[in-house]
Chain A
Amino acid sequence: MTDVRQNAFDTAPEENPKALSSGSLWYEAWLRFRRNRLAMLGLFMILALVGIAVFAPQLAPFDPYKQLIWTEGSKAKLAAPSWAHLMGTDAYGRDIMSRVFYGARLSLQIGFLATVVSLLIGVPLGAIAGYYGGWIDDLISWLINVIFAFPFMLFVLAIVAVLNNPSMIAVFTAIGLVSWVSIARVARAQFLSLREREYVESARALGLPTRTILFKHILPNTLAPIIVQATLGIGSIILMEAGLAFLGFGAQPPEPSWGLMISDGQQYLTTGQWWWAFFPGMAIMITVLAFNFLGDGLRDALDVRLKR
């Protein structure tokens, strides 16, 4: 879960070729992206996951909360994968495939929501720090460094202690408070280098309000690295959520959270009932891999320095 601290861009990219309109720039990036097989694989995997998440009620063969042992007895308990239950059942006779499908909902929801929150905090703060510099920059950079230096688990424990509740809200707050910093760093670096450009200077000379300069003139030119950072961030956030659920924070039973399922099923790995922990583990791996493929592909496609 340390992946969140990885920066896609620590230095500013080269200036965009001015001859091209932005539309054709994005188009060219798409062409580059399409040639990248791993990136396309990542995109398709994500589309499939989103499909599973959205249509979970239609796709899942069983109710993910339904404990079959009460009606079918012990044969439904920890049943091995079979045609009836493709991924087997857990100790309460709940169908693991259905739970993995519903789990995709939970994971993607958190991944996207937390990313939106971190964008909403990280981009403006990074922009202000980079554009104004001086003591504002010092203050915000100091804050970023403090959060980077703080052990994430300790931070979550502190928040859980303060809220006196290990629920989803605590975990969401913790992830939100931590994950914006990598976005802010990227945004800050971009704004720092772009504020000296001639087009920004001319905008200033024309007397445009700072808000317009920041968000209308500079921001569009910083989007590419921020998008890449955010995409890579989704994977790390999903991993973080699973890790926290594994430790008992966040999703509480009976929520079909992947991390929770691994936590419940792990003890059974050694006694032969591997499927309870294995399938949610695979689901996490596939999801995180997909976002990493997509993020890497986007970076290659959007970063003009890497153009072959």
Chain B
Amino acid sequence: MKKMMQFMGVLLFVTALLLSGPAAWAEEEPQYGGVLAWRITSDPPALDPAHANIVISARGANLYCETLVEISKDGQELLPMLAESWEVNEDSTVWTFRLRPGVKFHKTGYQGKPTANGGREVVAADVKYSFERLLREKAARAYFLNSIKGYQELFDEKADSWEGIEVLDDRTVRFTLSTPYAPFLAALSYTAFSIVPHEDAEKLGKDFNFQPVGTGPFILNDWKHDNEVIFRKNPDYWRKDSAGRALPYLDGVNLVVIPDSSVAYLEFGKGNIDVLSDIPNEFYSEIQEKYRDQFQSCPTLATQYYGMAVNKEPFDDVRVRQAFNYAVNREAINELVLHNTFIPGKGVLPPGMPGYNPDLESYTYDPEKAKTLLKEAGYDKGLTVTLQYNNNPRHKMIGEAVQAQMAEIGIKMELQASELGAHYDAVRRGDVPFFRAGWSGDYPDPDNFLYNLFCSDNFGQKGNYARYKNDDVDAWLKEARSISDTDKRMELYRKAEQQIVKDAPWMFLFYDTTNLVSNEKVRNIHLASMGEYQTPLTEVWKVK
């Protein structure tokens, strides 16, 4: 009964979050014009989709370039984008895409100069070129598509082209996979797999990153490093609104670099910034209160955890790992420290992810049970552990709260801050027995969480930082990615997640929510469930 109540609670909370977006805008007539100022915390490291693998880069990249398919607003479905339709054979190994007719690359580019492609239509050869380019550029996330036949040969430069990608005619392209890979379609929605024109990419070489060209609603006009990234409207954009009017409504989007959150909030108050996302804790209640109608939040596909290296003392004992999980009061931390900006976590898959299991049997706050387990493991006199975390105010706050709760069961948890890059380097090498980490989904398929993070093929670099290995789990995860029957796949993922939770290589902590607050003049902005950085701006408009 208690479990049931808890589940109802989470469900209510999630529904409330989903519904908390503003609703009163729908009836107004959209107005053209205006520039939207969106705050970013640092200069984007890259804008070339091949290298845009952190959220700030992706925010810029998905304004000007587009992929074959896109994720629906609720994150549950894959919709046609540059591809108009597709077919797949029986065992999900041959995918044939029909391209949307009449989609054109940008005619003018950086600082209004004409582009090399001259604004021509997108053809199937561009798809093949763009994908092969990723391997030639050694793009970090190209491995998402390593199931396409000929991946390794091209990657190793033993072949000139990607065997598994065939151009059938100008509007048809076919992908042949060497093994069935169910999340294939979802992976295609990832930013790196955007379609770019070969004329410009070849002409500019490395400079393509700074003067990129795509098919998107906006065109990169100017990049003032560490200051502003300026996008202007694409007058020839293919998409039309429901009444058949041209899109986008906005004249442009400026990504404004403001590292300090107090300064950003001040600028938002003055109206110089239109959209503020990832709102820091200290302003959260104030913003929620003051801008009730302009504030939105929703669950996102990301999870927060403390990893425990299962090959290192004291975490080689499953009872210790379970005790740690029983020791934290996730609900209280979320409510009292985090302003309910997270969802207390039970397992790996966040709500909203296909395969999310609301009936997962997991850990509740139970310090007595934790003490018993520690005693059984031989640590009745207590235990000292050091948590390494990347230095960030929010991680520190969670750390201090967890620290106090661990002290209740006799565990002295020391906190050691580390710089982001150094932290993940050490974690990947396996040097840190107890570490904070998080994982944000790249595409909505449980494979992107469970396979990457828990399959023993993926130790270290690829995501399995805790060095977790369970032969059953390995087998289930591999089977699930190679079959196409959705129900059967989800069944396998449920089994795997349940086993992982039982083995507890993580302290399962929270699922993330994402949020943004927009200026009162901004209309029709809908926070994307993949994260605020994916929020589409094509149909956003501003009142004068």
**Binding between chains A and B:** yes
Give me the interface of A with B, judged by CB distance under 8 Å.
Answer: 65, 67, 69-70, 73-74, 77, 91-92, 165-167, 248, 252-254, 264, 267-268, 270-271
User: Which of these binds chain A: B278-286, B314-322, B448-456?
Assistant: B278-286
| 0 or 1 for each of B301-341: is its CB under 8 Å from A? (1 = yes) | 00000000000000000000000000001001001110000
Interfacial chain A residues near B403, Cβ < 8 Å? 253-254
Alpha-carbon distance between A270 and B393 when the two chains are bound, in angstroms = 16
Interfacial chain A residues near B417, Cβ < 8 Å? 166, 248, 252
Alpha-carbon distance between A237 and B335 when the two chains are bound, in angstroms = 39
Instruction: Tell me the residues in window 366-410 of chain B with beta carbons closer than 8 Å to chain A beta carbons.
Output: 391, 393, 396-397, 399-401, 403-405, 407
Smallest distance from the beta carbon of B271 to chain A beta carbons, Å? 18
Smallest distance from the beta carbon of A244 to chain B beta carbons, Å? 12
Interfacial chain A residues near B393, Cβ < 8 Å? 264, 267
Q: Which of B265, B336, B401, B407 contacts A73 (CB under 8 A)? A: B336
A-B pair count, CB < 8 Å, reads 58
Q: Is B461 an interface residue (CB 8 A)?
A: no
Alpha-carbon distance between A70 and B393 when the two chains are bound, in angstroms = 20
Alpha-carbon distance between A267 and B262 when the two chains are bound, in angstroms = 7
Smallest distance from the beta carbon of B388 to chain A beta carbons, Å? 10
A254 touches B404 (CB 8 A): yes
B399 touches A253 (CB 8 A): yes
Give me the interface of B with A, judged by CB distance under 8 Å.
Answer: 261-262, 265-266, 280-283, 286, 329, 332, 335-337, 391, 393, 396-397, 399-401, 403-405, 407, 414-418
Beyond A253-B396, A253-B399, A253-B415, list 5 extra A-B contacts (CB 8 Å): A67-B400, A70-B405, A253-B400, A254-B400, A264-B396
**27 contacts across the A-B interface (CB closer than 8 A):** A67-B400, A67-B404, A69-B332, A70-B329, A70-B332, A73-B336, A74-B336, A77-B336, A91-B337, A92-B400, A165-B416, A166-B416, A166-B418, A167-B416, A252-B414, A252-B415, A253-B400, A253-B403, A254-B403, A254-B404, A264-B396, A267-B261, A267-B262, A268-B282, A270-B262, A271-B283, A271-B286
8 smallest beta-carbon distances between A and B, as pairs: A267-B282, A67-B404, A69-B336, A253-B400, A253-B415, A252-B415, A248-B417, A268-B282
Alpha-carbon distance between A252 and B399 when the two chains are bound, in angstroms = 11
Q: Answer whether A248 and B404 are a contact pair too, CB < 8 Å, given A70-B336, A167-B416.
A: no
Alpha-carbon distance between A268 and B286 when the two chains are bound, in angstroms = 11
Alpha-carbon distance between A248 and B423 when the two chains are bound, in angstroms = 15
A92 touches B404 (CB 8 A): yes
Alpha-carbon distance between A70 and B330 when the two chains are bound, in angstroms = 11
Alpha-carbon distance between A253 and B401 when the two chains are bound, in angstroms = 10
A248 touches B337 (CB 8 A): no
